[in-house]
Structure 1
Amino acid sequence: MEQKKGIIILMSAKFSFSVVQSSRALYIFKKLKEQFPDTYIIMQKNEEEKIGLENLIQVKPIIPISGKFRLLKGMAFKLQMTLLSLWYIVSKRVDYVILRGYDTILLYPFLKILNIKIYMDYHGIYKHELNQQNRRLRAFFVGHIERLSLYLADRIIVVSGGVITQIQEYKDKCIYMPNGIDIHKINDTDHACSIKLPGNKKIIGFIGNWEQFMKVEDVCECLKYANNCIGVIIGRGYKADHIMNKYRDTENIIFTGRLQQEDVYSLLHKFDICILPYDKDDKHSLYPDYFSSRKAKEYIAAGKPVIVSDVEGRESWLIENQNCLLYESGNPKDLAEKIDILLNKEELYDKMCTNNRDLSKNFMWDTIIDQSGLIRDIQA
């Protein structure tokens, strides 16, 4: 049988196993390379991480993107990546390409002409996020680009059932592959984090980039009502400066900002309860089983009980009273009550810890990629 050749292309992500977008592509790349040795991956060079992988192609912008005119410089880098990707596609004579992001659209016509199979790694309608940020003009153009990309793709790799619901007309092209985790990396850490926590309080934790669909204020506000608890909120993102300024004088909240992955996992093991505060007013929350958050899987891999908001989009595999408790999104008093229930019902708490450790084994990257059928589809 002829050996398939492929290439994974990310225009906007730097090489890193700490960033979700980059790490997802890298884990898929490592797995595919086991089956198809002539598999390559192209992404932006990361000057801070020097990890070398065979067949990894890191691209350094000809014009540094930092400083003034970042938008224009970013567009120039996208063009640089597009031309370089085309050169590798032709020179390596690849059979398939995996693309992520609307900024790969210029590659599609050439791939169609060359009869190369296109896999689109799709994570939901980005236009919705832009509209909620009142970036209407950009949302208009992105919406048209996404529709064209979905139409031209031969297969669409989706991270959740909710994403399939968004694109029902293409459900027959979809390959289901949620985000995975490296359980061993999470649980084998012996790293000592520099963030010091009080030893006499229960730790209520939240980890991740603060996406627009996360209502981080619920975690902050609930600590006004939760007894003998301190909140540790890791990361930055949507409205981060506003939220951190609002609660900077609150004694029982610690904002760590962005941390190295080793520090994050070190803190995670000190959490008593982890929160998934999805926002009921976000459009993504309306699609059942839409979210496929890596943080949710990191929580359960560490054996932590979870409290998640009761939106339709929450992960369907988090079963109430088995893996989690539900609280009313936007109601921090209800969240505080659920924290109190978990901390005072030892049998329920211990059951969730055990159940979640067992459940996390379903989300190891090797398992997820094998079950997705992606390898069989490429071979076919």
Structure 2
Amino acid sequence: MLLDNFVRLIYSACGTIGVSSPGFIEKLRPYTDKEIHFIPQWTTQRLAMASKAVSGKRIFTFAGNIGSVQNLEMVVEAFGSLKNEEAELRLVGGGVFLERLQKLVQAKQYRNIVFTGRLPQEKMPEVFAQSDVMIISLKREFAMTLPAKFQAYIAAGKPIFGIITGDTAELIEQYELGMIALPEFESIRSGFQTLMQQSSRQLEVWGNNARNTSKRLFDRTNIVGIMSCLCGMEEYDHSIEHSPKYTV
């Protein structure tokens, strides 16, 4: 009770409140009746994308930290169980779970799962270019997290397979950026199977939606403009998209 009152006191001093993930809006609502706005981190760079080399395989890529919260053991198991030689899963990055996953792949003799280890930033445009679908995966308890890789993936114009619940899943669905699955084996397996069968045209549509969403929602100039308006520094420009779904 004492802590709740302290939190209410802090927010009572605020004119406007911004949050980096939509889920925090409802979490904060019991503590304040002030306006709460979803103000995401903006995309820090635009990647110059090379053309995808013809490999004959559908390439799924996870790029980032390989730890326990990413739920990658289940992702690897679900993908490997399909034994589809026309698809490949690439895990780009390092972390405490890397060796464990490598041993799992070796023990199960999965031949279509590749570990690249950590790569320098300048290699990432090539990684994205060679990928058909980018993967975001987090355990259920991180439902309010909007991972930074989400902005990177859509800025690159890539379809997303979101193995995640909550805010990120809602954005993928709302803006038609790809597919989502629950962080459970059967749901992940089914998602992979469906994506392996999707047409190249559908992937292109999702990729275009991703690129356009990045420009509308995660552009630095737009977000700084919204923040300036909310702080009363300039007149609000209604041409800037600020989804009413995430403003309370």
State the TM-score, normalized to the length of structure 2: 0.72
Change (3 A) 1:161 1:211: farther
Give the Cα–Cα distance (whole angstroms) in 2 for the partners of residues 379 and 176 of structure 1: 18
Give distance in 2, aligned partners of 1:276 and 1:178.
17
Partner in structure 1 of residue 121 of structure 2: 261
> What's the CA shift string for 1:333-354, capped at 9, x where partnerless?
2132122232xx2332222122
Match of residue 224 from structure 2: 369
| Cα distance between partner residues in 1 of 2:7 and 2:112 | 47
Mapped partners of 2:100, 2:34: distance in 1: 43
2:27 is aligned, of 149, 161, 166, to 166
Aligned-partner SS, 2:139: coil
Are the counterparts in 2 of residues 226 and 337 from structure 1 also a CA contact under 8 Å? no
Counterpart of 2:25, as a letter, is I
* Amino acid in the other structure paired with 1:204: F
Structure 1 residues 377, 320: CA separation in 2 closer, same or farther (over 3 Å shift)? closer
Within a 5 Å distance, the mapping from 1:10-89 to structure 2 comes to none
Q: Structure 1 regions of 5+ residues with no counterpart?
A: 1-143, 191-196
**CA distance in structure 2 between the aligned counterparts of 1:378 and 1:309, rounded to whole angstroms:** 39
**Percentage of identical aligned residues:** 19
One-letter code of the match for 1:220?
Answer: V
- 1:208 aligns to 2:69 (yes or no): no
Uncovered stretches (5+) of structure 2, i.e. residues with no partner = 235-248
Contact 1:157 1:177 in 2 (8 A): yes
1:231 maps to 2:93: no
1:242 pairs with 90, 100, 110, which one? 100
Aligned-partner residue type, residue 57 of structure 2: K
Describe the superposition over 1:24-61 as per-residue Cα deviations: whole angstroms up to 9, x where unpaired.
xxxxxxxxxxxxxxxxxxxxxxxxxxxxxxxxxxxxxx
Q: Shift in Å at residue 272 of structure 1?
A: 0.8
Distance 2:68 2:6 in 1: 25
Match of 2:221, as an amino acid? D
Partner-residue secondary structure (3-state), 1:164: helix
The equivalent of 1:335 in structure 2 is 191
The one-character-per-residue Cα deviations of 1:160-180 (angstroms, maximum 9, x if unpaired) are 111232333146275532122
The equivalent residue for 2:166 is 312
Distance 2:205 2:131 in 1: 16
Instruction: State the match for 2:43 in structure 1.
Output: 181
Aligned counterparts of 1:149 and 1:187: Cα–Cα separation in 2: 44
CA distance in 2, matches of 1:376, 1:313: 23
For the 8 Å contact 1:320–1:326, the answer to whether it is kept is: no
Shift >6 Å, 4+ stretches: 147-150
Which of 1 and 2 has greater Rg? 1
2 CA distance for matches of 1:303 and 1:226? 28
Amino acid in structure 1 at the alignment position of 2:178: C
* Local SS of the residue matching 1:317: helix
Report the Cα offset of residue 377 of structure 1: 2.0
3-state SS of paired residue (1:360): helix
- Matched length: 220
What is the alpha-carbon distance in structure 1 between the residues aligned to residue 167 and residue 231 of structure 2?
Answer: 28
Alpha-carbon RMSD across the aligned residues, in angstroms, is 3.4
